[in-house]
Structure 1
Amino acid sequence: MKLRTTILLFVLTAGLAAFIVLWEQKQPATQERLAREKRPFAVDVQHADSIEIVGADLSLRLTREPGGLWFLNKPVEDRANQELVKQFLESMTALTWVEKLKKSDMRKDDFKRTGLGEPSTRVTVRQGSEKLLQCFFGATSPVEGTSYASLGEDAEDFFLAKSGVQPLLDKPSDDWRDNKLVRLKLEHIGRFTLSAGTGSMEFTREPNQPWRLTKPIQARASDERVSSVLQALLKMQVKPVRGKVPTPPADPGQALPMMKVSFGTGVKGQQPVDVTFQPPSAAGAEIVAEVGDRSGTYLAPAKLADFWKLQPNHLRDQRLGQIPEDRVSAIRLHGPGFPEVKLTRAGELWMLQRFGKEEPANQARIQRLLEGINTANVVDFVTDAATNLDLYGLNQPFLTLEWTVDGKTTSLLFGQANDQVCAKYADETSVFKVNPLMPSAIMPPDLVKWKGTRVINASIFAVRRIIVAEGDKPALTLHYNPDDSTWKAELAGADVTEKLDKAGANTLLKQLASFDASDWSADRSAAFEALKGPTLTVQVLIAPPGQPDAKPEVKTLIFAPSTPGMSTAVYHGRLNEEPDTFLISRDLYQQLSRTLVK
């Protein structure tokens, strides 16, 4: 054989081998091939845009629009039941062949009972002009959960198929129509109106903002209540009217007015959706509805009749305020009966402006104020057109609460007249009654009450010495070395270190380094009188760690019972010669004065 012929044969052999390898790589493995044979329609139908069902009892044509919604084109023009279409497509792709049969193996009468002759139902799913799947369904078989199906109308082979398709094909065409009267997303709705007869309500909101009532009055709306009404309308299931449309009562004295509802969205290109509800023809009767973006008439549940009873006050915000705790940056309280309280936020902490300087504010009290305003309910809506504020004591409010959020300040006024406490927002005309105990419960008038309750704030590593003297007893002096966390104790000039309860000393150290009072005293005169004869004195020497040249600071705490000579529930206290006095509990007093030397 010539060398040229040998090389040519080698090249052809190599090419054939490469082709065989590539071809086999593209062929499904045995397990995959068997799975495909069992699941003939395991294809991606998420981009399908048309469905055609042709049968003796059901004939439908559905198309999907660019927005993703399915619509019926036959037997009627209407929006389709989206959930049912999704279930249908999922059932089709999950269809499984249980057994393969042959037409030639059956008698003519037996094959007729499969329903795969003329009465069979043809299902075709397409994406554009491409046919994604097609199947012919016959009758239900004696085997539970299965029916007869084939891939061609006159195919020799047919199958015993297991799927959830058959029950869906048994549904009437009306079930394929959308059972939701309106198909909108709650978060997209920015305008909502509801009118019945002469009464009309309008609600609007900006993106990520709460609802507001804009008609018939301008007022804050209840986000929860408005959203609940919208959810009820959006989720309400309806059915097409069959036969004669029910008519309202003939007696005009008994008839309710027509109710009209409109939904407006901020979605580009989406028009407002208008819905009309006829009054119920009788108590407990279903309600006839028509919607602007769909043809036909529908029956809505009878419980919709409750919507005729809705009044503006039902959907108004029943809470006194809506202060966003994470965004409020400043709070101010003022009134003729007490000093001005100014609070500003610095990061996560609130600061109190007092005597020309800033000091830590009472964080817990501010939290109670915010929660108190946000959870307090309006007792009654007194008027929405207040012209004479004297009637409500709001011409000279006894308290004004202001808060700033994102640079915008809101003012809430409180007035008292005729044994009732009323409130109104400065920029609104509505007046509402509130619980008379609420303002004093969450907004104490004394400025010192807004001061932070941390009396001493130091690191335990800054404490060098603690002296505790109770009454006439000898003072106990405790020297602390933060470098090795050791103690040296002296009592009446003697070294009692060996007898010292070191665990108790460590507890005392932590209590005094971060010493918190229960509250500040409003009646300082009584505190000063009681503290003229202190029953317990605690002195703490503090030197900043790592600063050997810094001058140590002495902090002296004195305590006395609120009733002289008694073990009282609360004790007065004072730090150094500061003008403010504070209160501590009996339990804390006893912990500070406990015996530390065994």
Structure 2
Amino acid sequence: MSTRTTFLLLLAVVILGAAILGIERYLPSAVERREVKQGPARLERDKVTDIHITDANGTVVTLKRVDGVWQTTQSGTDAADPEKVAALIISLDTVEWIERISRDEFDDKEWAKTGLDSPRHKIRLMNGPQLMQECWLGAPAVIENSVYLGYPPRDGATDASPAWYVARCGAPLVLQAVQNVWRDPKLLRLPAEVITGITLTQASGQLEIMRESEHMPWILMKPLKTRGSKERINELLSILLNIEVLEAKEAGASAAAASSSAAGAVIPPDEIRVHVDSAPRKKSYDLTLKKPADDKQSSTSATAAHRKGVFTVSARNLARLWVEPNALRDHLLAQINAEMLQGIQITSASFPEVKLRNESGSWFLERHGKWDSANGERLTRMLEALNTHEIVEFSADTASDLAPFGLDKPFQSITWTYPQFKPVKLLFGTDATNSKFYAKYEEEPFVYRINPSLLPSLPPDGIKWKGLGALRFTTFALRRITMSMGAAAPLVLNYDPSSAAWTGSRAGKDITAELDRVKCDRIAASLAKFTVQDWAASRSDAVQALKTPFLRIQIVLGEPGRAEGALRELNLVFANTQPNAETLFLYGQIEGDPDIFYITRKSLLEVVIPPFKDKSGMK
């Protein structure tokens, strides 16, 4: 082999070796690619108890979880913003590595641009004394929404070099200088559902409200015990839980002394003390706030027993904390849970007692010794009217003499019952001039003035509560329908449920061929669910009119599914409400039922349509 050839081969080997070294140096290996794809080990977020954040200037902020509450040492020890702390932990736990980089890839100038020579933030996540993760944040990288990250070697690690990455990470956004304030911006951070009691103490007195749990109603306990207004107490909660801290200062000696003796001190007229109880958390919280100069001012000063310092705070409608007891009383007349109701009784001086009962969601009315279907729509309207009726005035809180309100002899009352609970009775009265109307719960001392517009929703006449479904039967039981109008011969329609076939006759003549089966089916279906417009409260004129009806309908029913068996008849009669006139409304009655109903002529004609084929009709 010639010297020249040997030299060329040697040169090729050198070039190939250099290329291999370059590739190994600057291109990631298969192991590195797999490592980048997997990303960093995931954190057990709920085990993080301490966070240490060091910025480029060497300033250290420590976040520590004490009894489940995060605290910060920034500008003194205080409650930390739990949402921001959680966002930081999540951002470090969801880092997405894009590529691993090496210090050797950069010259000093380019490396300085990564920000990793002097990290903007160094973050250590701890579980007590144990390090869980340490991360260094550099400058934003070239790739959109990415940053340079560094992970220093763990203590005792064989690889003493940090690991550098280009990665997607939300931590820089959390740590932006403008937002780098860790103090909790909420003066009181609690979910509304865990609050079970609030006491407001001011110079004019003390107001206390409580509830057993988030699912139970609010009760005003002081200065009087009565139902609380859910909407207005929720507004109060909203104000308390949305008080934002604008500025915090160290409490001076005078402020600390005032805070320590707050329980027994005389309260200035421009101050309010708020005590909040949380039974689920077995904790209580105390706040003291100065009253804003006017209703338009939204900021004031405040202190909190569970936090150090004096705060300048802000909230909408802050002045509404200085509230009078009546403002938190329930301004609605009733709070009836329709789904739990078992029964309702309405008594009055003019009519027999109305009894309604609920059976598996269906309501029934006791009338003439038996239980009939009740008017569900009217009952729904009544409950809605009671639950939405605004009290006009709290007339008396300790009325020893009920006569001025007519409640010594109430003209009407309504009682509702729930399973396993004592019945609730609401009384209604009126003054001597019948111009003002009042209501009072039998077991409570309070008298409320109400608007008389409520009363039509509570009719005391039992007939008004009867269901409008006057007839209900299945067509499988139908055997015959006979319709007689005036002096005309009755029209007889016979039905065979086994074949769904119709036959007919009139004056002894077979008219089956003239019948339209669809129309006959429609008549049967309408009668099977015959619904009236209303029931007549006055019977005298109706009874007289029904002595000479213009239409009679007889329905013969058998036993469903059986050709043989006993038959029963239902007879309906209809008459005009005025003699010798075709009136818009008609009287109607089912034989054997003492109650008389109203039905419009139009509705009746839609039921008793001519059952004949086209070009035929009832003669």
Question: Does TM, normalized by the shorter one, top 0.5?
Answer: yes
Question: Residues 119 and 476 from structure 1, CA distance in 2 versus in 1: closer, same or farther, beyond 3 angstroms?
Answer: closer
Question: Residues 354 and 537 from structure 1, CA distance in 2 versus in 1: closer, same or farther, beyond 3 angstroms?
Answer: same
Q: Which consecutive unaligned segments of at least 5 residues does structure 1 have?
A: 1-27, 248-254
Instruction: Choose which of 317, 326, 331 in structure 1 pairs with 2:344.
Output: 331
- 2:354 matched to 1:341? yes
Count residues with an aligned counterpart. 559
Contact 2:37 2:97 (C-alpha < 8 Å) held by counterparts = no
- 2:439 matched to 1:423? yes
98-107 or 361-370, which moves further after superposition? Answer: 98-107
490-499 or 93-102, which moves further after superposition? Answer: 93-102
Contact 1:60 1:173 (C-alpha < 8 Å) held by counterparts = no
Deviation of 1:98 after TM superposition, in Å, equals 4.5
Instruction: Choose which of 438, 449, 452 in structure 2 pairs with 1:436.
Output: 452
Q: 2:202 is matched with which residue?
A: 196
- 2:590 matched to 1:571? no
Q: 1:216 is matched with which residue?
A: 223
Question: Residues 580 and 161 from structure 1, CA distance in 2 versus in 1: closer, same or farther, beyond 3 angstroms?
Answer: closer
Q: 1:488 is matched with which residue?
A: 503
Deviation of 1:352 after TM superposition, in Å, equals 2.1
Contact 1:351 1:360 (C-alpha < 8 Å) held by counterparts = yes
Task: Kindly report which structure 2 residues correspond to 1:458-477, keeping only aligned pairs within 5 A, or say none.
Answer: 458-477=473-492
Contact 1:536 1:593 (C-alpha < 8 Å) held by counterparts = no
Instruction: Choose which of 468, 471, 486 in structure 2 pairs with 1:456.
Output: 471
Task: Kindly report which structure 2 residues correspond to 1:492-571, keeping only aligned pairs within 5 A, or say none.
Answer: 492-546=507-561, 550-571=565-586
Q: 2:260 is matched with which residue?
A: none
Which string of whole-angstrom CA distances, capped at 9 and with x for unpartnered residues, describes residues 477-501 of structure 1?
A: 0000000000001122211111112
Instruction: Choose which of 385, 407, 428 in structure 2 pairs with 1:414.
Output: 428
The alignment partner of 2:193 has SS state of: helix
The alignment partner of 1:134 has SS state of: strand
224-233 or 257-266, which moves further after superposition? Answer: 224-233
- 2:46 matched to 1:34? no
Task: Kindly report which structure 2 residues correspond to 1:61-100, keeping only aligned pairs within 5 A, or say none.
Answer: 61-65=62-66, 67=68, 69-73=69-73, 76-98=76-98, 100=100
Instruction: Choose which of 400, 403, 410 in structure 2 pairs with 1:390.
Output: 403
Contact 1:470 1:535 (C-alpha < 8 Å) held by counterparts = yes
* Aligned mates of 2:246, 2:500 — CA distance in 1: 79
Contact 1:456 1:514 (C-alpha < 8 Å) held by counterparts = yes
* Aligned mates of 1:348, 1:181 — CA distance in 2: 47
* Aligned mates of 1:552, 1:72 — CA distance in 2: 86
Instruction: Choose which of 364, 371, 384 in structure 2 pairs with 1:351.
Output: 364
- What TM-score do the two structures reach when normalised by structure 1? 0.86
511-520 or 110-119, which moves further after superposition? Answer: 110-119
* Aligned mates of 2:163, 2:588 — CA distance in 1: 97
Deviation of 1:244 after TM superposition, in Å, equals 9.9
Instruction: Choose which of 240, 243, 260 in structure 2 pairs with 1:233.
Output: 240
Question: Residues 472 and 72 from structure 1, CA distance in 2 versus in 1: closer, same or farther, beyond 3 angstroms?
Answer: same
The alignment partner of 1:54 has SS state of: strand
Question: Residues 155 and 297 from structure 1, CA distance in 2 versus in 1: closer, same or farther, beyond 3 angstroms?
Answer: farther
Q: 1:54 is matched with which residue?
A: 54
Contact 2:274 2:288 (C-alpha < 8 Å) held by counterparts = yes
Which string of whole-angstrom CA distances, capped at 9 and with x for unpartnered residues, describes residues 410-461 of structure 1?
A: 111111114111111112222112111211x112222222222332222111
Which string of whole-angstrom CA distances, capped at 9 and with x for unpartnered residues, describes residues 142-167 of structure 1?
A: 76544443223995764444422223
Deviation of 1:274 after TM superposition, in Å, equals 1.0
Deviation of 1:379 after TM superposition, in Å, equals 2.0
The alignment partner of 2:216 has SS state of: coil
The alignment partner of 2:484 has SS state of: strand
* Aligned mates of 1:264, 1:157 — CA distance in 2: 50
Question: Residues 174 and 258 from structure 1, CA distance in 2 versus in 1: closer, same or farther, beyond 3 angstroms?
Answer: farther
Contact 1:59 1:75 (C-alpha < 8 Å) held by counterparts = no
493-502 or 173-182, which moves further after superposition? Answer: 173-182
Deviation of 1:97 after TM superposition, in Å, equals 4.2
Question: Residues 568 and 199 from structure 1, CA distance in 2 versus in 1: closer, same or farther, beyond 3 angstroms?
Answer: farther
Question: Residues 31 and 119 from structure 1, CA distance in 2 versus in 1: closer, same or farther, beyond 3 angstroms?
Answer: closer
Contact 1:462 1:544 (C-alpha < 8 Å) held by counterparts = yes
Question: Residues 99 and 580 from structure 1, CA distance in 2 versus in 1: closer, same or farther, beyond 3 angstroms?
Answer: closer
Structure 1 stretches of at least 4 aligned residues deviating more than 6 Å after TM superposition: 28-31
The alignment partner of 1:87 has SS state of: helix
Deviation of 1:65 after TM superposition, in Å, equals 3.7
The alignment partner of 2:483 has SS state of: strand
Q: 2:123 is matched with which residue?
A: 123
Contact 2:192 2:237 (C-alpha < 8 Å) held by counterparts = yes
Paired amino acid for 2:576? P
Question: Residues 299 and 144 from structure 1, CA distance in 2 versus in 1: closer, same or farther, beyond 3 angstroms?
Answer: farther
Contact 1:103 1:157 (C-alpha < 8 Å) held by counterparts = no
* Aligned mates of 1:513, 1:140 — CA distance in 2: 78
Paired amino acid for 1:94? T
Contact 1:60 1:75 (C-alpha < 8 Å) held by counterparts = no
Paired amino acid for 1:412? L
Q: 1:313 is matched with which residue?
A: 326
Q: Percent identity?
A: 30
Paired amino acid for 1:495? D
Contact 1:41 1:95 (C-alpha < 8 Å) held by counterparts = no
Question: Residues 135 and 558 from structure 1, CA distance in 2 versus in 1: closer, same or farther, beyond 3 angstroms?
Answer: same
* Aligned mates of 2:218, 2:49 — CA distance in 1: 38
- 2:197 matched to 1:181? no
Paired amino acid for 1:413? L
* Aligned mates of 2:176, 2:604 — CA distance in 1: 81
Deviation of 1:232 after TM superposition, in Å, equals 3.0
Question: Residues 111 and 347 from structure 1, CA distance in 2 versus in 1: closer, same or farther, beyond 3 angstroms?
Answer: closer
The alignment partner of 2:371 has SS state of: strand
The alignment partner of 1:350 has SS state of: strand
The alignment partner of 2:353 has SS state of: strand
Task: Kindly report which structure 2 residues correspond to 1:270-289, keeping only aligned pairs within 5 A, or say none.
Answer: 270-280=282-292, 284=297, 286-289=299-302
408-417 or 567-576, which moves further after superposition? Answer: 567-576
RMSD: 2.8
Q: Which consecutive unaligned segments of at least 5 residues does structure 2 have?
A: 1-29, 154-159, 255-267
* Aligned mates of 2:444, 2:177 — CA distance in 1: 56
Q: 1:11 is matched with which residue?
A: none
Q: 1:372 is matched with which residue?
A: 385
Deviation of 1:569 after TM superposition, in Å, equals 2.5
Contact 2:477 2:561 (C-alpha < 8 Å) held by counterparts = no
Contact 2:198 2:208 (C-alpha < 8 Å) held by counterparts = yes
Contact 1:45 1:132 (C-alpha < 8 Å) held by counterparts = no
- What TM-score do the two structures reach when normalised by structure 2? 0.83
